[in-house]
Amino acid sequence: MRASLHGGSALSTNVRSRLRVAAIRIAALAVLGLLAVPGGAFASSSILASCPTQTVSTPFSQWGDTNDYYLAPGGSFEGTADQVGWTLAGATLTSGNEPFLVNNPGDTQSLTIPGGGSATSPYFCVDNTMASLRFFAQEAAAGGDLQVQALVQTASGVDTVSLADLADGSMPSWAPTQPIVGDTSGLADGQKIMVALQFSVTGGSTASWQIDDVYVDPYRSG
């Protein structure tokens, strides 16, 4: 049985009110005509096969979220840039982990993204069981929003889908984001697509955000 989130989250009311989260719309690409027609661009670019089974944990249980999550590729930001595997444009791996150490007590790094910079994960498999993502963040220097997008591979190229916008000033210290919840039910059972996550910071060069431990929720019904 999937656990539900409760109102007892440790995030402050201010963070809740200022954290502007847009629904994940990977399945909602249907409005672009990608799922509307059988055999269309999206359908023909996806594969009818299950995504690999991932090792899951409950990293957000202390905030009342006991759902299972798996770590996105390179999502702990431990190791060298080559080992992490993310594409960094101005962003850097930096010392200092999110203080809750939910991935591993020995973790020592996070990712810093300055204003105008971005970081893009490797592509990974998404199916209709993957309902949300969640990660840790703090705004290291004020002046810009942290934006989250999905890059979705299709037969005609890559579509960019806006997922969330964390407002300037909303997360002055390390905290888990609210779950960024979406609806992937538009994908048929067994249908999978390849998606990368892209994080970017708006505003001037003095703005800066840190992120760490990026997790995906692979809810499986039945």
The two three-digit tokens of residue 145, written as one number: 């929003």
Average pLDDT, the chain: 80
Average pLDDT of the residues in 23-38: 33
Q: With the C-alpha atoms ordered 5, 214, 183, 28, is the resulting torsion angle positive or negative?
A: positive
Q: In the prediction, which pLDDT does 46 show?
A: 53
pTM above 0.85, yes or no: no
Say how many CA atoms lie within 13 Å of 169 toward its Cβ. 4
Average pLDDT of the residues in 7-16: 42
Q: In the prediction, which pLDDT does 180 show?
A: 87
Share of the chain above pLDDT 70, in %: 73
Q: In the prediction, which pLDDT does 185 show?
A: 64
List the beta strands (DSSP E) in 142-185: 146-154, 157-166, 175-176, 180-181
The three-state secondary structure class of 27 is: helix
pLDDT tens digit string along 185-217? Answer: 677 777 888 999 999 999 899 999 999 999 999
Q: In the prediction, which pLDDT does 192 show?
A: 86
Q: In the prediction, which pLDDT does 94 show?
A: 98
The two three-digit tokens of residue 161, written as one number: 């889908």
pLDDT tens digit string along 45-75? Answer: 455 567 888 999 999 999 999 999 999 999 9
Could you tell me if residue 90 is left (phi over 0), alpha (psi between -120 and 50 degrees) or otherwise beta? left
pLDDT tens digit string along 81-124? Answer: 999 999 999 999 999 999 999 999 999 999 999 999 999 999 99
Nearest to 135, CA basis, from 216, 25, 219, 208 = 216
Contact 63, 7 (CB under 8 A): no
- How far out from the chain centre does Cα 44 lie? 25
User: What does the alpha-carbon distance between residue 66 and residue 3 come to, in Å, rounded to a whole number?
Assistant: 6
The two three-digit tokens of residue 26, written as one number: 């990977």
Contact 175, 157 (CB under 8 A): no
Greatest mean pLDDT among 29-38, 115-124, 129-138 lies in 115-124
- How far out from the chain centre does Cα 126 lie? 12
User: What does the alpha-carbon distance between residue 128 and residue 166 come to, in Å, rounded to a whole number?
Assistant: 25
Tell me which of 3.30.360.10, 2.60.120.200, 3.40.720.10, 2.60.40.10 is the CATH number of domain 13-52+77-218. Answer: 2.60.120.200
Cα–Cα distance list, 177 to 27, 59, 100, 120, 219 (Å): 22, 12, 13, 18, 18
Whether 5 shows a pLDDT value over 70: the answer reads: no
Q: What is the 3-state secondary structure (H, E, C) of 75-123?
A: CCCCCCHHHHCCEEEECEEEECCCCCCCCCCCCCEEEEEECCCEEECCC
Q: Where are the domains of the chain?
A: 13-52+77-218
